[in-house]
Structure 1
């Protein structure tokens, strides 16, 4: 929908220390951060919001000052400074201060290369970056960077994150404005009270400053959400400002944000092309009910419109007309959302443009009424019985009735008409609607376990498998199927497989397969030891409670059912059958049972995961569950020769 660039890594600074002090300062930082390759002596961003006639002039001065603590810190020599239509980069300066004979010598960077920042899948992107290299990166040297960002719209102020890939001696965020500008601001996730705040006034000028000392480096952790979910940061926005003509509202409340957003869609779809009208008429004629028409329109857009993102100034915010998207057969999220709305309007069915943030963004409209909340657009249909259908055309494998997984739990801003909107929370889909089943028949053959299996996928497991299986290269498909049905050990081999119902969204995907696993069971004397827990989900997957700081994020909740029928080998009888076991926890659970049936042993298992974001205060409960379930996985059947 649009791209807002948050500057998290290209950070601020002014030179804090005199040359005579520099060697002592190096030692101080070396002692405090002995394992770090470098440190920000200072990061700072100074945001200026100044009345300029009837509008606001907004610009951000960014500086950074890095002191290198180790020789191998040359990995930090290459830099990028990002800009776009909404934040133009100016006054770019960079230099290295080379420590030589107890004083610094300047080496100024002069070669700045401007590059397009076009990403894969982006048809047009107006973002760009300047790339350059700092010379002479070495221990005790310092690299300094300064530049300005001219912001075209004060609504896109991103705030400031007090975290970086390096530790920081001082990190600060300053807003310089006047008493004519009404600000709203909040510090988030500062439980340890690391951030100090100061507000000063002088005449009509007002300065807000947030600062922190000796912030540790932010370490990457597996399956973490956006850092804005858990690191200290400031969110701020302009509510209103005074002019000679009176008070001008900007983002005083959600009404202001919606009024602005509605201007992007109010003039759309005035004239419908014959082609689009004919497509809708055919869909409606072949539908027996309104809900069936909605479903078929949704599937038509998924099947016929290729998702290609656009990021070009206001074009990153305003959709194309439905007829245009239908003709071109491609569009981005807002184009596809508007096409769905347009087609349903032609069919005489009300549907609504809807703004929403993906789970990459932690904010809610009811808390932060700014564009920080959203980065995506969908359509919403409300049935006559009051059920909400969140229609994301970009998620082309998603079944009707499911939101795309990336908007679960997020607030949707539903545009009803020019004066009315509704905020509705998208549900998190229950684990009972995301089902995987795996039914296997196995037998022992020499030193191998061989078998056949049937696996089915419905709900989000089907959606995500659809993206992986929808590939042109057979080797890629086989690798994914092997990963999907693989079990036992790294000696699993997939002999053959067939796929069914991949393209039929309302049917579970079905995978039939033949497999073998070498050296899986043990033979000791006249006894055989076989562990029928071929899949050990989350086995010993303990979280280090002392070190992990970030929540843990997954795509969806789910249940997995498994049934294994093992043919009894000739001449053997059951010596030991594990007891049935069950753990039913709030985050995950497992239920395993064993049966001795004529000519075979059956192992049945139900495993579930019941969260999409695991918070640090839940880590201990998670570890307790993993411990109990991992013990269940260790049980083996013992067979003995008659």
Structure 2
């Protein structure tokens, strides 16, 4: 009888709708601890990637299409909350079959609000966004959420990440690859990740499965590098199709990637004659080739607004040069194309150039649209290549932002292509040099200061300064110099030309700093370093991401303190020389006659601080802060 009852219950469970699931109420508390600050978890997050041959492609379609079906078993950790998701789509990618199902197998009404993705009311690309909302039941009761992403051309199927916006108890990625398609699944950041891989055959299909358990959601933390640098993911490269016994390359090598780029750019429709008047005016009176290049490059920087959606992979076709000139704005592709056409009119060899910024860890051994997210212009003058990034402001010719330094570039060369690398600069390229002469003024320090900015330290300040209203510029510069410290008063500022790109930016001013001198009996305690650069940048133990600096840093400081009459040096702090992960510090005090000289050099030579290096960084910072907190002691 018991055996019959068990068989009946088993048959009943098999006949239940697919959406019907048991409650996970007993696991809610454990998941709250495992995935803190999360209201919903995915018990199972499964993506199935399937490919379809397209024998007669229509315009905008490829020989191969792909469908990625996501089936997510959502489990709320709070009662009766509303689930919200955002699904991006564009011309080559459509969202289909969106559905939500309750634990009882009933369809749940889904609210969708779809439209163009925008920022500051400017449409940046053909990127669109669907905001999806539907109600969940009591905590622990699962819902099934499914949708399919239809790629009209398989080349737009690039990266698949294990970490998503939801934490997942189990994450599954399955590729169902037909025999007629040659697919290369490149693995990134798999080292140390508990990913199980399996391959099996199902008729003519090769099924590759990747499984990972207890996957946290993608962290959202300030100064986090692109997830491509640290999070495990796959890049799907569809190399070739075999049809009717013939092999047809898709993206088998960088040659195929470049061929597609070139075919898109061949349809731009530039009308260079509409640029001629502007080019003639800009180059008039310029004596050398480099002066002419600078005149055009800087004019585009200063006068064509950059509005692109930077991380998108869509819109590979640049806007026509005459359109960008007329509208006075463009994305990276539009500005690069305008630079190319203007420079060609001026008689230079200028070429469109594709590049992946520092957000991407790939190079051109990976023939995928994932490798590039940016376009610049290369101009060849006297046999030397100059890489012109029109999206940067106040960037000098032959100077490059951190985000493109050391990165490979793909330069157009007719039916061929050229692969080069953008130069990379050491930290002292961005040197900031501060010198001060100070005297004790009651409980304050006052005196004169001079500071010099170079490289990105300079261009960043120039860019910010240019955006400030003229009547606010002096206040803004003063606040920048005192680094927001209310104890510091800056006055009598004089600066070199803020628009000058090739020379350092220099600022002189007077300074008065309160609360840096303490009087106790016959003794004076003096603190000479109130900036304490990077001193408050301890990495918290619960941070999940690496930390990315906006640039490399090289700060040098020299301060001279004049001893007050009747006082002598009683104590000078010991010198410190310390190295840490991608960083170094040197600081010392010395006495020269009636003057105390304080020097400091701090260098951040690597722009990304890895999570594994946080303990060493914090130990480095602890020693630096001890040095910062030391004081000079003077006695009568």
1:223-234 correspondence runs (5 A): 223-234=223-234
Give the Å deviation of 1:260. Answer: 0.6
Partners of 1:270 and 1:80 in 2: how far apart?
36
Structure 2: stretches of 5+ with no match in the other structure? 1-15, 57-62
Contact 1:442 1:564 in 2 (8 A): yes
| 1:175 match: secondary structure | strand
Deviations 1:63-88, CA, capped at 9 Å, x for gaps? 222212245x94x6333222221211
3-state SS in 2 of match to 1:210: strand
Deviations 1:280-334 (A, max 9, x none): 34444533332332222211221232223389x9982112333343333322211
Structure 1 segment 117-132 matched on structure 2, within 5 A: 117-120=117-120, 122-132=122-132
Q: What is the RMSD computed on CA atoms of the aligned residues?
A: 3.2
Q: Deviation at 1:21?
A: 5.6
Q: Is the 8 A contact 1:310 1:316 kept in 2?
A: no
Gaps of 5+ in 1: 1-13, 98-103
Relative to 1, partners in 2 of residues 1:359 and 1:105: Cα closer, same or farther, differing over 3 Å?
Answer: same
Q: How does 1:560-575 map to 2 (within 5 A)?
A: 560-575=555-570
Asked if 1:377 is matched to 2:375, the reply is: yes
Determine the structure 2 residue equivalent to 1:92: 98
Secondary structure of 2:231's match? coil
**Number of equivalences:** 614
Partners of 1:480 and 1:269 lie apart in 2 by 44
2:23–2:141: 8 Å Cα contact kept in structure 1? Answer: no
1:235 CA drift (Å): 1.4
Aligned partners of 1:65 and 1:144 also within 8 Å: yes
* Structure 1 match to 2:440: 444
Q: Deviations over 1:417-476 (max 9, x none)?
A: 22x212222233221211212222333333333344232212101111122212244797
**2:40/2:76 contact within 8 Å kept:** yes
Match of 2:609 in 1: 614
Give the TM-score, by structure 2 length. 0.87
Matched residues in 2 for 1:344 and 1:428: separation? 25
Q: Distance in 1 between matches of 2:154 and 2:475?
A: 48
Q: Measure, in 1, the Cα distance between the counterparts of 2:436 and 2:409.
A: 42
Pick from 599, 610, 628: which aligns with 1:604? 599
CA distance in 1, matches of 2:135, 2:458: 51
Q: Identify the residue that residue 45 of structure 2 maps to in structure 1.
A: 43
Q: Deviations over 1:511-530 (max 9, x none)?
A: 33444333222222110111
Whole-Å separation in 2 of the counterparts to 1:267 and 1:20: 56
* Gap change, CA 1:550 and 1:448, over 3 Å in 2: same
What corresponds to 1:60 in structure 2?
68
Q: Is the 8 A contact 1:168 1:215 kept in 2?
A: yes
**Structure 1 CA distance for aligned equivalents of residues 508 and 603 of structure 2:** 23
Give the drift of 1:391. 0.4
The structure-2 alpha-carbon separation of the partners of 1:595 and 1:196, relative to structure 1 and needing over 3 Å to count, comes to closer
Native 8 Å contact 1:96 1:134 kept in 2 = no
Take 2:421 and 2:153, find their aligned partners in 1: how far apart are those partners?
Answer: 28
SS of residue paired to 2:467 = coil
Q: 615-624 or 149-158: which moved more?
A: 615-624
Superposed displacement of residue 581, structure 1: 3.9
CA contact (8 A) 1:121 1:308 kept: no
- Give 1:553's aligned residue: 548
* SS of corresponding position for 1:466: helix
Deviations 1:394-435 (A, max 9, x none): 1122111112332123221111222x2122222332212112
C-alpha displacement of 1:24: 4.7
Kindly state the Cα deviation for residue 621 of structure 1 after the two structures are TM-superposed: 4.8
Contact 1:430 1:558 in 2 (8 A): no
Relative to structure 1, the CA distance from residue 320 to residue 136 in structure 2 (aligned partners, 3 Å threshold; closer, same or farther) is closer
Task: Determine the C-alpha separation between the residues in 1 that align with 2:321 and 2:456.
Answer: 28
Query: Kindly tell me: are residues 20 and 314 of structure 1, through their superposed partners in 2, closer, same or farther at Cα, counting changes over 3 Å?
Result: closer
Give the aligned partner of residue 530 of structure 1. 526
Q: Could you tell me how far apart the structure 1 residues matched to 2:156 and 2:479 are?
A: 42
**Contact 1:321–1:335 under 8 Å retained in 2:** yes
1:417 aligned onto 2:414: yes
SS at match of 2:461: helix
Tell me how far 1:580 sits from its aligned partner.
4.2
Q: CA deviation at 1:392?
A: 0.3
Q: Work out whether residues 590 and 629 of structure 1, in 8 Å CA contact, stay in contact via their aligned partners in 2.
A: yes
Report the counterpart of residue 590 of structure 1 in structure 2.
585
Q: Shift of the alpha carbon at 1:240?
A: 0.7
1:251 corresponds in structure 2 to 251
Measured at CA, do residues 519 and 32 of structure 1 come closer, stay the same or move farther in structure 2, by a change above 3 Å?
closer
C-alpha distance in 2, partners of 1:15/1:40? Answer: 19
- Residue 496 (structure 1) shift: 6.1
Partners of 1:30 and 1:604 lie apart in 2 by 50
